[in-house]
Amino acid sequence: METFDYVIVGGGSAGCVVAARLSEDPGTRVLLLEAGPRDLHPAIHIPAAFPRLFKSGLDWDYHTEPQPALGGRSVYWPRGRVLGGSSALNAMMWVRGFRADYDAWAERAGPGWSYASLLPYFRRAEDTEGAAPDDPARGTGGPVAVSHLRDPNPLTRAWLKAAGEAGIGPLDAVDADEGVTETMATQRGGRRVSTADAYLHEARKRRNLVVRTRMRCTGIVFDGRRAVGVSYLRGRDPLTAAASREVVLSAGAIGSPQLLMCSGVGAALQLSTLGIPVVVDSPQVGQNLQDHLISGIAARAKRRVTLAGAQSLSSLARYLLRHRGMLTSTIAEAYGFVRSDPALPLPDLELLFLPVLFVDEGLKIPTEHGVTLAAVLLQPDSTGEVHLRSPDPSVPPAIDPWYLSDPDEHDAERLRVGIRWCRRILAQPSLANELGELFRPAGVDGEELVEVALRDLSQTLYHPVGTCRMGTDAASVVDPELRVRGVDGLRVVDASVMPRIIRGHTHAPTVAIAERAAELMRAGL
């Protein structure tokens, strides 16, 4: 059995950061275990190709429990199963969220998680195109390239103009609260920058960092209540790696709670029912699941300029020769924030524009030219859970986000307002002149359209968080330093620790969480 100082489970958005930062100390031996393969698939690196990775061997291919508020549908949840994790197949949008989101974290988990406290970690991570080195808000020189789109679609500019015509101004600051803007993306030179690209590839040259792919973790090894290593499979061969300092779970909002529960950290009654010996009775493990639900409308385009043309030989040739053209698109090329009620202190809806017919949960390759306008419910009152179906960690857990389940139905009404915003923008001259009839929903209008879109077209924005929430309270899964309560030598570092989902996209704060966690570990905290 090999012994390392740190064993990290999960080479995704957080795990790559933690492994790279801890291994900067040449006296520290680090093992990173990733269930998926290396990030060699060409569709990872071609930005607009990421939907082709859905349901591939690089995707965990999760599905939720049937959702009563969505017509009983099970919702597809892609999650990255490859070095870089979900940062290797996301839409590359770098959207931090609002200052108030992090200040709310600080109220629950201590001052180290406030916006002011996390800003240095955002800036440390970022290499923002066009930002001055002394910019107090944006980082430069960091490992994560945050770039302007190289070739925005002409209909993206039309949507931005139409939003202005509908009364939504420009979003003119990195932490501004309301308005619309073109997406900035984790790309460099027209290629995706995952956390494997940004942090891990150079770090792997260090002798003190060992990265092993296609290694499925099967559990945490405890000596009493101290985590001393992990068990994992290489093919069918069971192996164990010892950790003299800490085991770090960075398996994400589904994988991390599943591993905790399979290893005996969770609700004692459920674990005992499944025959799992209880190490710590921690009922909040797997609870507090939150996600961004998105719905909207799609319309056919009059001009053949949308991303349906990205599949052409000329588009591929342009990308391969110059890293330009449609294949550099993030697909979601513009976004903005609005309020469902003018009396609200902050926006509760995000609007997205996609110059393509993004339908059927992104699983249908578009052949017709069209666009998608979508609304995102930013901070739902509805919360769900992840729970075990089996003590076998190879069996996917049950995922139940309980979308739109809040008893007052505030979530559904707010998302309805968002869909109405999409219709309003669609009707403005700058966009309406470019578009034809509705593609989805078809054959309905008015409030019937809103209800059909809500029930039949809503899907995830791929942002599950919260299932190992941090907090100062004794019931929280991890403490403010992200150490698992009730045991020693075990930490969780990923999106699962967020106590409340942010009003932005979750990749940027996950990287900031990992940056701060690595600093805490190196300081012995």
Q: Is 252 helix (H, G, I), strand (E, B) or coil?
A: helix
How far apart are alpha carbons 334 and 33 in whole angstroms? 35
- Give 61-126 as a 3 state SS string: CEECCCEHHHCCECCEECCECCCCHHHHCCCCECCCCCHHHHHHHHHHHCHHHCHHHHHHHHHHHE
Question: Token pair 């619309």 is at which residue?
Answer: 180
Q: Is 517 helix (H, G, I), strand (E, B) or coil?
A: helix
The total of other beta-carbon atoms located within 10 Å of residue 407's CB is 7
Token readout for 119 is 């800003």
Residue type, 269: L
DSSP notation for 302-359: SSS-SGGGGGSHHHHHHHHHHS-SGGG--S--EEEEE-SSTTSSS--EEEEEESS---
How far apart are alpha carbons 403 and 385 in whole angstroms? 11
* 262 φ/ψ angles, rounded to the nearest 5 degrees: -60, -25
How far apart are alpha carbons 92 and 78 in whole angstroms? 15
Among the listed residues 292, 323, 387, 463, the single catalytic one is 463
CA 83 to chain centre: 15
Beta bridge partners of 91: none
Beta bridge partners of 9: 33, 249
For residue 270, what are the CA distances in angstroms to 201, 275, 391, 479?
A: 40, 9, 10, 23
Q: Which of 188, 138, 108 is nearest to 466 (CA)?
A: 108
Beta bridge partners of 49: none
Label residues 247-286 b or e (16+ Cβ within 10 Å = b): bbbbbbbbbbbbbbbbbbbbbeebbeebebeebbebebbb
Annotated active-site residue 45? The verdict is: no
How far apart are alpha carbons 476 and 469 in whole angstroms? 6
Contact 513, 493 (CB under 8 A): yes
* 112 φ/ψ angles, rounded to the nearest 5 degrees: -65, -10
DSSP 274: T
Token readout for 492 is 């969780």
Beta bridge partners of 33: 9, 212
Token readout for 482 is 């992200």
Question: Token pair 């209909």 is at which residue?
Answer: 155
Token readout for 491 is 């930490």
Which are the catalytic amino acids? Answer: 463
